[in-house]
Amino acid sequence: MRWDSLQFLNLSHNSLTGHLPQFRYHNLRYLDLKFNSLQGPLPSSICNMGSLILLDLSRNNFSDSVPHCLGSMASLKVLDLRRNNFTGSLPPLCAHSTTLSTIVINGNRFEGHVPVSLLNCNGLQVLDVGNNAINDTFPAWFGTLQELQVLILKSNKFHGPISICQTKFCFSKLRIFDLSHNDFSGSLPANVFGNFKAMIKLDGEDTGNIKYMESMLNSLLVTSYEDSVSLVIKGHDIELERISTIMTTIDLSRNHFEGVIPETLKDLSSLWLLNLSSNNLRGDIPMKLGLLSMLEALDLSWNRLIGKIPQELTRMNFLAFLNLSQNHLVGPIPQGRQFNTFENDSYGGNLDLCGRPLTKQCETSDSSHVPQQLESEEEGESYFFSGFTWESVVIGYSFGLVVGTVMWSLMYKYRKPKWFVEFFDGLMPHKRRRPKKRAQRRQT
């Protein structure tokens, strides 16, 4: 076999150690070395592989800076460098190419700014720069990447407000929007949410069949690369080996956002996860969040929200995780549907909340305003018993038992049941009886 004709090389999931050699495989198109123990810097000769389509060096121990010549690889579509020890600034990716569809550098020590050269990545679908030390503001030009479906900036040093979209087409295909664990400030980007068309369920759309993001490498049947991300789901950091199209998420937690929760979120009818926790949000929880019928996880904890929990939230039939703790919410907790499954932890730190599952009972003034369950017509008790409680039943039974015992004793003592009957008969109202007409005898 001639090594210079090698096109596909997959040595992933082994125990390879040491440094990478100088590359002389000019025809190599697919290089997968993930899940090894390789270390040291990347040799600049890696850029000589002008036909390379996929470069996956994830989950190794590579270090030092990444050769800037990577930005000049004209055929490269997938670059996955996650979970290494790379340092320095990001290379000018897409500086001389527009083919990149996936860029994942999560879990390194990159710093500096996001390179503006990414503007040229017209086909970019996945951009994951999470868990680094990037110090930048939110690049307004992100909105021009019209094919972008996954944007993850979490756990960096991004700061400042979220820039306003200049066009109605920005982020129209975005499914995962994760800006968590940064220093973003200002109001939540209500106008940006309005552009998330991929998070809006269309009439007649079938959400029952699970579909996954299509890789740009589908034409190469010998490849096994799947876009994957790590997300905080229901309070746990979970790695998704494949990105389902139904997992539409917005995670803006652990920032410095302030103001109110925008009602434009209500339009994202296919939203699966919403995490706005650990910010400085104020005001009421919008009632219209109850329109998010596909939502499975809602975290609004550690803010400064006030008012009552809207009963409309019980309309979320798929809600499996709820965290409203550490706010200033008041009044009775809504009952019914998914809300009957949540524990105390969902409401902790709201000292003026009452009702199940908390041990604090609602006072009379509160209980008189407890809203009925939205499905009371189906699950409620019958009208006849609606006014009775177990206390009234016990009192009535006890009173009847005492009176009956006394009356029986009197009858037994005086042996005059006729008197007993006449006595009670006199207490009962009677209709007047019309006297019977006697037939007059004809005198013959």
The model's confidence at residue 240, banded by pLDDT at 50, 70 and 90, is: confident
**Quick check: pTM over 0.85?**
no
Domain count, the chain: 2
Is the distance from CB of 271 to CB of 292 less than 8 angstroms? yes
Lowest-confidence region among 25-39, 226-240, 327-341: 226-240
Lowest-confidence region among 204-208, 329-333, 336-340: 204-208
Whether 398 has a pLDDT exceeding 60, the answer reads no
Same domain, 373 and 414: no
pLDDT at 60: 98
Residue 371 lies in a domain: yes
pLDDT at 363: 84
- Report the distance separating Cα 74 and Cα 96, nearest Å: 7
**192 conformational bin, left if phi > 0, alpha if psi -120 to 50, beta if neither:** alpha
pLDDT at 368: 40
pLDDT at 400: 55
pLDDT at 80: 96
Is the distance from CB of 25 to CB of 49 less than 8 angstroms? yes
pLDDT at 34: 95
Residue 46 lies in a domain: yes
- Report the distance separating Cα 293 and Cα 314, nearest Å: 10
Neighbours of 324 (CB within 10 A): 24
Q: Containing H/E element for 395?
A: helix 390-414
pLDDT tens-digit series, residues 84-137? 999 999 999 998 777 899 999 999 999 999 999 999 999 999 999 999 999 999
**420 conformational bin, left if phi > 0, alpha if psi -120 to 50, beta if neither:** alpha
Q: Containing H/E element for 442?
A: none
- Report the distance separating Cα 260 and Cα 307, nearest Å: 13
The model's confidence at residue 173, banded by pLDDT at 50, 70 and 90, is: very high
pLDDT at 369: 46
- Report the distance separating Cα 235 and Cα 206, nearest Å: 28
pLDDT at 393: 41
pLDDT tens-digit series, residues 379-389? 443 333 334 44
**280 contact partners, CB below 8 Å, separation of at least 6:** 256, 257, 258, 303, 304
Is the distance from CB of 123 to CB of 99 less than 8 angstroms? yes
Q: How confident is the prediction for the chain on average, in pLDDT?
A: 82
pLDDT at 231: 77
For residue 162, give the CATH number of its domain: 3.80.10.10
Q: Containing H/E element for 411?
A: helix 390-414
Whether 390 has a pLDDT exceeding 70, the answer reads no
- Report the distance separating Cα 11 and Cα 436, nearest Å: 114
pLDDT at 253: 97
pLDDT at 373: 46
Same domain, 318 and 172: yes
pLDDT at 11: 94
CA 358 to chain centre: 24
For residue 276, which of 236, 314, 330, 323 has the smallest C-alpha distance?
Answer: 323
Residue 306 lies in a domain: yes
Same domain, 24 and 82: yes
Higher pLDDT, 331 or 201: 331
pLDDT tens-digit series, residues 25-37? 888 999 999 999 9
pLDDT tens-digit series, residues 289-298? 999 999 999 9
Same domain, 309 and 417: no
Lowest-confidence region among 131-140, 158-167, 224-233: 224-233
Same domain, 284 and 398: no
Residue 444 lies in a domain: no
Lowest-confidence region among 68-77, 109-118, 269-278, 357-366: 357-366
Q: What domain range includes position 26?
A: 3-383
Whether 406 has a pLDDT exceeding 70, the answer reads no
Same domain, 214 and 153: yes
Average pLDDT over residues 232-245: 75
- Report the distance separating Cα 17 and Cα 367, nearest Å: 67
- Report the distance separating Cα 312 and Cα 113, nearest Å: 43
pLDDT at 428: 46
Query: Pairing relation of β-strands 328-332 and 352-354?
Result: parallel
Same domain, 192 and 90: yes
Same domain, 414 and 288: no
Query: Which residue is it, tokens 């006072």?
Result: 363
The model's confidence at residue 396, banded by pLDDT at 50, 70 and 90, is: low
- Report the distance separating Cα 337 and Cα 375, nearest Å: 8
The share of the chain scoring above pLDDT 70, in percent, equals: 75
Same domain, 416 and 337: no
The model's confidence at residue 376, banded by pLDDT at 50, 70 and 90, is: very low
pLDDT at 210: 58
The share of the chain scoring above pLDDT 90, in percent, equals: 58
Higher pLDDT, 96 or 176: 176
Whether 365 has a pLDDT exceeding 80, the answer reads no
- Report the distance separating Cα 119 and Cα 403, nearest Å: 91
Same domain, 373 and 412: no
For residue 62, which of 79, 90, 43 has the smallest C-alpha distance?
Answer: 43
Same domain, 145 and 271: yes
Higher pLDDT, 387 or 256: 256
Residue 421 lies in a domain: yes
Same domain, 417 and 363: no
Whether 303 has a pLDDT exceeding 60, the answer reads yes
Residue 436 lies in a domain: no
